[in-house]
Amino acid sequence: MSIEEQLQPLIAKAIEAAEKTGEFVVEQAPELLQQFYKWQIIESILNIVFGLVVLFICVFIIKWATKAVKDYDTELLGGAALVTSSILFIIFVIVFFDGIYSLVEIIVAPKLYLIEYFLKT
């Protein structure tokens, strides 16, 4: 028996499995897209909430650090806290607005979001 004859049943099984997989993907595509959009929406909301929490914490730290620097009782610690929290504030403002942008894009133009998402990855 030649190698070709031995491989024919294996190739037939592979083709059958590929056809079944293709049918499965076509049947499950709508549910898959719904789950994808739900996850992306939840991820955007979590980014927004996380960004807000960190922003509020940064605001309180900036207020404390500003007061500490004015009172000269913890000038070095206050200055370091002021710089660090200011940098974090800027970063998480970006995270917050990126989350809002993504959420709006998913809701308003889901197909465009899907295309952009897969072009980025």
- The pLDDT score that the predictor gives to residue 81 is 78
Q: Does 118 or 102 have the greater pLDDT score?
A: 102
pLDDT of residue 18: 57
Residue 35: CB atoms within 10 A of its CB come to 11
For residue range 53-108, list pLDDT tens digits in order: 999 988 888 887 777 777 666 666 667 778 888 898 899 999 999 999 999 999 99
In terms of pLDDT, which residue wins out, 33 or 52? 52
Domain boundaries, the chain: 29-120
Mean pLDDT of 13-24: 64
Question: CA 75 to CA 86: how far, in whole Å?
Answer: 16
**Helix (DSSP H) and strand (DSSP E) numbers for the chain:** 3, 0
pTM for the model: 0.65
pLDDT at 23 over 60: yes
Task: Give the residue from 48, 38, 36, 44 showing the smallest Cα distance to 102.
Answer: 44
